[in-house]
Chain A
């Protein structure tokens, strides 16, 4: 089974700060997913990436395949970015996703 570790577990920052959330996984993958879960429970897929970097608005996701590590960055953070951010990768020998425990981000105005 692919072990997916996220850090930090909780992160509180002031509005406008640059945010970095990290994800490490134990086995090689075909694609790593970043998801956002708001307090109501709904989950939105942010990125799916297998190499390099992807950008969407103020969100940037990077992945280093050799080091089995991915980061999610948020520039000019805003209170509406407050959510739980989850990374996920496939289980070893099984194409189904294993999820990290999530990083709870709180942005203070």
Chain B
């Protein structure tokens, strides 16, 4: 139990579908992150939220749309994705958004685009 819960664990969708990934933490953290992990590549930061405000968008295509309604919940809305978007999407949280804060990760959502 990591304290960060992601749903669903697996998702298969077509390129024209719309779906959402959900992340939830009750660790009292203020910062939340979305990462993408493609096969044989390092983790790539996508978005950072701190106190519900987006503080980082790492040049992510607009077909990925994040939403952070409160410090405990983070969503990633997906629409018209491409096959190269198939990857493991990981959510993390930390007390603050600096690099000197340990991050707690969820188990990830494995996304496959048909």
Q: Known contacts A29-B99, A30-B100, A44-B2; is A97 also within 8 Å of B45 by CB?
A: yes
The reply to whether A102 and B42 form a contact with Cβ atoms under 8 Å apart is yes
The reply to whether B56 and A96 form a contact with Cβ atoms under 8 Å apart is yes
**Can you list 28 A-B contacts (CB < 8 A)?**
A29-B99, A31-B99, A33-B102, A33-B103, A41-B37, A41-B88, A41-B110, A42-B105, A42-B107, A42-B108, A43-B90, A44-B2, A44-B105, A86-B42, A90-B99, A95-B97, A95-B99, A96-B45, A96-B48, A96-B56, A96-B58, A96-B99, A97-B45, A97-B103, A99-B43, A100-B42, A101-B42, A102-B42
B residues lining the A interface (CB < 8 Å): 2, 37, 40-45, 48, 56, 58, 88, 90, 92, 97-108, 110
